[in-house]
Each structure stands twice: as C-alpha cells, then as structure tokens.
C-alpha cells in the first residue's frame, strides 16, 4: 500500500523499484541512516551515477515522517532549473505519486508544489529566497545542497545561512552532496562533520585528444559530430558542449543541413539545443528517444548544450561526448563596475565531468578538441567559485 496515497502501488512502481535497488547508493542506506541520526550535518561524496540525487532525498522523507511532532518537509537544491524539474518528475514516478502533490519542484517563475508536498526539488536561488521570508526555514526538517562542487553564488551563500540556522535549530539536518573528492572544504566548514563516500557506477570512457590545437573549435566540433554519425558503427547519442546560445543555434543549423546533404542512406539525426534561457518544456526535449529508421540505418540524437549538462542531468543513450574545452563565465570587474560573460578555458574538473557524461549507461568515447599537453599543463585544477568573481552588492543589500 502506498503510504502517501493510501492506494495499492501500481505495477510500474515495482518495475522502477527493481532498478532502484541495483543503484550503488543502496548498499549505503543503513550507514547513511546511522550518520543522519547521530549528526546534524554531514558531507556526502558520490561519483557519477550512484543515484544520490534521487534516492537520498527519499530516505530523508522516510526519516522525517517517522519522527514525532510536526511533520516537516525535505528540500533538495539543484544549481540548474532543468535538473530540478527532471529529477522531481523521476522521483514522483519512483514514489508512485503525482508530480506537484507529495513531490514537487520550485524554479524561478514556476512553482509546481502544494500544501501536501513533503519533498521539494528547487534551484538554490529559490531556497535562498525562501530563507529571506523564513530565516530559520521552519518548514523543512532536512535540507540537501546537491551539486555543491559547482560552487554557485547562491549555494555558497546558502552554506553560510545554513551554518547559522543549524546553531539555532537542533532539529534541522543539513546534507552537502558533492561529485568531487575535494569535499574536505565543506567538511571543515561545517565544523568537521562526518564524510560519507559512495562509489559511482561509471563505465570506461576512452579519451581522444587532437594532435594540434584547433584554430576554430566550432568548425572542429561540427566536423566531429558528422564523422561520428557517419563512421561509428555502434548506436549511441552525442553530447556536444558549446559556450552559448548563438554558437549552439548556429551549430544545430549547420549539423542538420550537412546531414541532410549526405543523402537518404545515412541515418536520421535529431538535434536538440540546451541552454538556460530555453523555455522549460523545450529543455525537456533532451529526454526524447533517438530517431528510428525502418531501413536499419543508425539514427542518433545530438544534444548541443552549454555547461548546464555537465552535472545533475543523466541523458540516457549518450555514448559520445565532444568537448571543445571552453565555457562562458560571469566575471565582475570592480574597477569599471561591470559584470560580463567571458569565454574561458574550462578546468580539469569540468573536463572530467564532461567525459563522465559518456560513461553513464555503457562504455563511451570523449573527443577533446585540445591537446593532451594543454590538458595537463595549461588547465587549472578547479573552476574559480562564482563568489570570487561576482558582484556581491545585490546580495549584501538583500
């Protein structure tokens, strides 16, 4: 019987449950519960694919419901809107409830939750906004900061807020989840709290570098997509990282045109752009299946994305990743008091995250459009946190 709806579970619930129980994170459920019971805050490090984003919040719901006294909810923050929406839908399916009822999400300009919602996925900015109206965040019993390694401005500010809140609320639990092993910083910040490491479930990813630096990475990226579609004999979708909307739209048009020029004997291709300013419904297109052709030619889905696809999102079927090695970063110049988006080289940590996208469901390949020497000697280890390169004026005023 479903404890949330008081109705029998559907057959689909049991199908999904079988898959859930195979996730690596389930081996740590008892240990997780023990740490959460004995400590007010702790850090959880999970590599790619253990299921931490979907399973940990559900375990927290079970714990919160079992406690005496007023029933409080569970909040799980995500740095990206598309991740908050897609994960909430997945967890609603796993809990066999309607999205917007017991499980919901909250993003800017859209709140899909209700008075019944006990588990809410939201962007870090939305939880920060809630904290302005409710400084002690009384409605939540557990708060999870997911993808903390991205070090967004809102997540870093939330850590400062929550460090003060846990001192005033002994009943609040805080979990910081990170995908990288430098999570010791978070552990020290929260007064040497415990750290739980969960191994991921990744398949081997073969890395390819260019022998010489590419003069035009956009041209090289489009060429690589076409070569994969024509020459790779195994099925598999492609994830191409570019820096912004203008580049992505141009790449989508050119890839579509060049594949059409190859003739009918080549498999169909579905090209899907992904960037933050796309409407949420269009962002959900990345989960559509690849095209099929009766003739048997291999059809592929090509997702052309900014760095929002680096973490959180699992796009089923991606086997090939193309990484030009660049991303746009927001940088504030205090001298002229101007904030601008600059195209900069990514860090080694970002390159590893991108490559990991190819090995989520089976062995994959990552084509890095830069030299191995550049990766080893020119890239910095980690991306500078947003708080070190942003204008903090608006946040300090609020």
Q: What is the DSSP code string of 102-159? A: TEEEEETTEEE--TT--EEEEEHHHHHHHHHH-TT-TTEEEEEETTGGG--HHHHHHH
Report the pLDDT value the prediction gives residue 283, as an integer from 0 to 100.
86
- 212: containing domain: 205-387
Assess whether 119 and 210 both reside in one domain. Answer: no
Residue 243, domain member (yes or no): yes
Residue 15, domain member (yes or no): yes
Report the pLDDT value the prediction gives residue 69, as an integer from 0 to 100.
76
List the CATH number of the domain containing 137: 3.40.50.300
Calculate the CA 208 to chain-centre distance: 24
Assess whether 186 and 213 both reside in one domain. Answer: no
Last residue of some domain: 145, 167, 198? 198
Assess whether 168 and 242 both reside in one domain. Answer: no
- Which tokens hold the place of 375? 């990766």
Q: H-helix or E-strand containing 271?
A: strand 269-274
Last residue of some domain: 144, 168, 198? 198
Assess whether 374 and 259 both reside in one domain. Answer: yes
CA dist 43 → 128, 138, 186, 194, 312 (Å): 20, 22, 7, 6, 17
* pLDDT, one tens digit for every residue, the chain (398 residues): 888 888 999 999 999 999 999 888 999 999 999 999 999 999 999 877 788 999 999 999 999 988 887 889 999 999 988 889 999 999 999 999 999 999 999 998 899 999 999 999 999 999 999 999 999 999 999 999 999 988 899 999 999 999 999 999 999 999 999 877 677 889 999 988 999 998 876 788 999 999 999 999 999 999 999 999 988 888 899 999 999 999 999 999 999 999 888 877 788 899 999 998 888 788 888 888 888 766 667 889 999 999 988 876 778 889 999 999 999 998 888 888 888 889 999 999 899 989 988 887 789 999 999 999 999 999 998 888 888 888 887 776 55
Report the pLDDT value the prediction gives residue 360, as an integer from 0 to 100.
79
Q: Residue 163 burial by CB count (10 A; 0-12/13-18/19+): exposed, middle or buried?
A: middle
Residue 1, domain member (yes or no): no
Assess whether 126 and 110 both reside in one domain. Answer: yes
Assess whether 324 and 226 both reside in one domain. Answer: yes
Which SS3 state, helix, strand or coil, does residue 96 take? coil
Report the pLDDT value the prediction gives residue 316, as an integer from 0 to 100.
81
Assess whether 109 and 131 both reside in one domain. Answer: yes
Residue 397, domain member (yes or no): no
Residue 2, domain member (yes or no): no
Assess whether 316 and 262 both reside in one domain. Answer: yes
Residue 392, domain member (yes or no): no
Residue 4, domain member (yes or no): no
Residue 5, domain member (yes or no): no
Report the pLDDT value the prediction gives residue 359, as an integer from 0 to 100.
82
- Which tokens hold the place of 151? 């070090």
Q: Are strands 338-345 and 326-333 parallel, antiparallel or unpaired?
A: antiparallel
Assess whether 84 and 190 both reside in one domain. Answer: yes
How confident is the model over 77-117, as pLDDT tens digits? 999 888 899 999 999 999 999 999 999 999 988 999 999 99
Assess whether 297 and 181 both reside in one domain. Answer: no
Report the pLDDT value the prediction gives residue 179, as an integer from 0 to 100.
79
Last residue of some domain: 183, 198, 213? 198
Q: How many domains is the chain partitioned into structurally?
A: 2
Assess whether 193 and 209 both reside in one domain. Answer: no
Assess whether 188 and 217 both reside in one domain. Answer: no
* Pick from 200, 212, 251: nearest CA to 355: 200
E strands present in 13-123: 41-46, 73-78, 103-107, 110-112, 119-123
Query: HSE (CB half, 13 Å, CA atoms) of 237?
Result: 23
């Amino acid at each position: 019987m479903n404890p949330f709806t008081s109705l029998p579970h559907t057959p689909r619930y049991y199908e999904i449950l079988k898959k859930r129980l195979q996730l690596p994170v389930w081996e740590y459920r008892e240990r997780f519960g023990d740490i959460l019971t004995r400590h007010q805050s702790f850090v959880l490090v999970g590599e790619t694919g253990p299921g931490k984003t979907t399973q940990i919040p559900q375990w927290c719901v079970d714990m919160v419901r079992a406690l005496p006294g007023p029933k409080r909810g569970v909040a799980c923050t995500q740095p990206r809107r598309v991740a908050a929406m897609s994960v909430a839908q997945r967890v609603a399916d796993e809990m066999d409830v309607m999205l917007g009822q017991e499980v919901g999400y909250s993003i800017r300009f859209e709140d899909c939750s209700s008075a019944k919602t006990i588990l809410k996925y939201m962007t870090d900015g939305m939880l920060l906004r809630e904290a302005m109206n409710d400084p002690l965040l009384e409605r939540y019993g557990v708060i999870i900061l997911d993808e903390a390694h991205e070090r967004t401005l809102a997540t870093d500010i939330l850590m400062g807020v929550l460090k003060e809140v846990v001192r005033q609320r002994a009943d609040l639990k805080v979990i910081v989840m990170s995908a990288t092993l430098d999570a010791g910083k978070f552990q020290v910040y929260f007064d040497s709290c415990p750290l739980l490491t969960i191994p991921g479930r990744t398949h081997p990813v073969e890395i390819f570098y260019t022998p010489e630096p590419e003069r035009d990475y956009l041209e090289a990226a489009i060429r690589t997509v076409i070569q994969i579609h024509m020459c790779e004999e195994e099925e598999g979708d492609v994830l191409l990282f570019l820096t912004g909307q203008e580049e992505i739209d141009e790449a989508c048009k050119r890839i579509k045109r060049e594949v059409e020029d190859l003739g009918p004997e080549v498999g169909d291709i579905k090209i899907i752009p992904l960037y933050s300013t796309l409407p949420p419904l269009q962002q959900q297109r990345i989960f559509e299946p690849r095209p099929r052709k009766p003739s048997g030619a291999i059809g592929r889905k090509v997702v052309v994305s900014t760095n929002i696809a680096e973490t959180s999102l699992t796009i089923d079927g991606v086997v090939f990743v193309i990484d030009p090695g660049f991303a746009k970063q927001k940088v504030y110049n205090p001298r002229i008091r101007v904030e601008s988006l600059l195209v900069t080289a990514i860090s080694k940590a970002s390159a590893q995250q991108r490559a990991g996208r190819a090995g989520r469901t089976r062995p994959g390949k990552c084509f890095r459009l830069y030299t191995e020497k550049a990766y080893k000697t020119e890239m910095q280890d980690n991306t500078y946190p947003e708080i070190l390169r942003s204008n903090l004026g608006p946040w300090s005023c609020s």
